[in-house]
Structure 1
């Protein structure tokens, strides 16, 4: 009888242990599933995945109106979102573009263009129509200038041409880089030239320190004038926030200059970032046609950690170039300039916070009637 009880007793103990194991196993898998769900939700909420939040074209158009930063006497400026083209693609354009398509991905990207929303914006602002005069390229954000009539458009263009005559660079950009630049500030006068690949099938731009007047007259080179200044280092000195003035953005000139001249590629750049390589511990410019320049940029893992990203997610990083300010020389008459400044976009601002940049105080307003005569300047703040 005792033996029988021992058998049943051991079986009862075994069944009890099995129940506990099953219970612990269920709890373990439930916890793991909850963790995966929480991680998935956390990834979906990443600011880089909310760059295009619009659910409809109307919502997009409304957001453009909300992002108007200047509106006076037919001149309208808005803060163009990242990843939005100024105009629709011309299907009849047979010219081969330098870069056929972007290598950057935007989560939930929309294929809207600002030009399609112009009638809506004009109506909301009380104009018969609006035309785009100046705009950052698609994969930049910042100041976009619109004109309500031909006289305003001519005034903008005249002001820009006058700045060239004054040897002033009217556009100021903010960029975030993946390394500290080799110089904290400087002024450079260089030239861009397209070089054919050894197979003669495609071309890539290269920056030259010297060129001839003949090359410039023939259009073989594009002069690039640059002024840059380091605004802040990031946490752990992994990255930098740089203010840069550039006379052109042709062939992604700012990206190219940052990578090959500052040895500090722009965060999110997948076109020119690998034009410098770490060779035996030294950063060096490499031949633009070697296979290594076509691979995705290799980012510092600490930098990715600060950005709450894994290596697999780095292709959603937006190109961090923001057209911060445009200066229209003598727009209101002799020695009376107009400065228009755009606040940082949400994703750019989030990056600055994540990397702990010390930002200059943002004005986020436009300034008109800036007297440039003599040593004194008078600034007038425009309420938005």
Structure 2
């Protein structure tokens, strides 16, 4: 199977609109069943992770037009099949020229939320894109996860692993589009846009009142994973949109009404701020700690093993794990 490429959104940052953000080329992969991408100079970076609050965070709005093209071109991990115009949510046409591609349009096959780091899958071949989309749809129907995320949560889930099921809808609250849970949705609700969603979670490590959690969505809905973790009373670190829905009295957490709770900057307790070596103003700019770590793709032939793509964590994410003593097993 040819014609797909991967852009690696590694070092964090986010768009103020649709798009992708990445720092540099990580490596290439062939046709083996498993591919691990290792950033160069990681030992040097690890020694300096504590020198800045969010190391490696990239903000595209601070780049010039030419710099942004260079960043995106350097983010291409692998390029296969016929050359085509590299586009990702209306990416600049100059990017195609800088890559030396032709005029065939590159399609977005798989992408996470705009604030989420990790992998973005592109295809320059319509047949390949269709084949991959069918693979993802069939996998979801069979409840076989193809995407694995890492998340750091403020709070520890009550159980070490399980699933979160919730009916969700998009709602317009005080001028902001938000995802809102729906209790006992009717058939009319489903017809009007309410979707039943499902995610698996597994706690990988705990420390300082936080957790490193592996998340595997089995449905697709905007902000699904953030909202699911809020329903577990453990919002994702850096979630400045939904974390305000979790209140606390005398150390006991509870859910506030989603329809009447306005988004606000995430508030962290003093002990956690000290562990993260952050001031309250720095914590207000904390990036979302949700990373698309792994994607599984079908092999090149029907009986081939699945291709597994892995993206290393952004430096700010690794720094947080170090500060909190969260060690992957």
1:138 partnered with 2:114: yes
Partner of 1:123 in structure 2? 100
Give the alignment partner of residue 319 of structure 1, picking from 267, 288, 303: 288
CA deviations on 1:45-102 (whole Å, 9 max, x unpaired) are 62426512775444433333443344444699xxxxxxxx9525xxxxxxxxxxxxxx
* Maintained 8 Å contact 2:273/2:279: yes
Aligned length in residues: 278
Shift in Å at residue 344 of structure 1? 1.2
Structure 2: runs of 5 or more not aligned: 1-47
Two-structure CA RMSD over aligned residues (Å):
3.4
Following the alignment from structure 1 to structure 2, what is the Cα–Cα distance between the partners of residues 202 and 138? 16
User: What whole-Å deviation, never above 9, does each CA across 1:217-255 have from its counterpart, x for those lacking one?
Assistant: x14411211100011113xx3211101011345341211
Alignment of 1:1-384 (within 5 A): 46-48=52-54, 50-52=56-58, 55-73=63-81, 86-88=88-90, 114=91, 118-120=95-97, 122-123=99-100, 129-194=105-170, 204-208=178-182, 210-212=184-186, 215-216=189-190, 218-234=191-207, 237-248=208-219, 250-260=221-231, 262-290=232-260, 293-329=262-298, 332-334=301-303, 336-360=305-329
CA distance in 1: counterparts of 2:104 and 2:147, whole angstroms? 28
SS at match of 1:186: strand
| 2: CA distance, partners of 1:185 / 1:211 | 26
CA distance in 2, matches of 1:116, 1:161: 30
Q: TM-score, structure 2 length as denominator? A: 0.72
**Does structure 1 retain, via aligned residues, the 8 Å contact 2:165–2:196?**
yes
Whichever structure has more helix as a proportion of its residues is 1
* TM-score of the aligned structures, taking structure 1 as reference length: 0.62
Change (3 A) 1:335 1:348: same
Higher relative contact order, structure no. (Cα contacts within 8 Å, ≥ 6 residues apart): 2
Name stretches of at least 5 consecutive residues in structure 1 with no aligned partner. Answer: 1-41, 77-84, 89-113, 361-384
Aligned to 1:23: none
C-alpha change, 1:121 and 1:232, in structure 2 (3 Å) is: farther
